[in-house]
Amino acid sequence: MNEIRNSRTLTGRVVSDKAKKTVTVLVERRVAHPMYGKIVTRSKKYHAHDEKDDCHEGDVVQIEECRPISKTKAWRVTKLLERARTEQPAAELGEKV
């Protein structure tokens, strides 16, 4: 009964981390237009469960499909791939402008 199922995984950028243990992940994919052939970007937002609450806005994460956790949340954050770069103003770094 313990069979391993292949779960879907996606990679995207966190656009919101305002809820507790939940992040909104924007996943963008590039597809060819069916008639004209031009490459267009399609995007979709997913609500994902972040148990440790360590993902913040701008981070790149990997999410995988799981059982429904709430009405809109059926994905789980599996890996934090890249932290968001935070640029500090020059005044905070002690430099004179």
- Which sequence spans correspond to the domains of the chain? 9-82
Residue with tokens 């640029």: 87
Q: What distance in Å separates the CA atoms of residue 57 and residue 13, rounded to the nearest whole number?
A: 8
**pLDDT computed for residue 4 by the predictor:** 66
Strands (E), the chain: 9-16, 22-32, 39-49, 60-65, 73-82
Q: What distance in Å separates the CA atoms of residue 47 and residue 11, rounded to the nearest whole number?
A: 13
Q: What is the pLDDT of residues 74-95, one digit of tens each?
A: 999 999 999 988 877 666 666 6
Q: How far, in Å, are 23, 64, 77, 91 from residue 51 at the CA level?
A: 10, 13, 8, 35
CATH class of 9-82: mainly beta
**pLDDT computed for residue 86 by the predictor:** 81
State pTM to two decimals: 0.80
Q: What is the pLDDT of residues 3-13, one digit of tens each?
A: 666 789 999 99
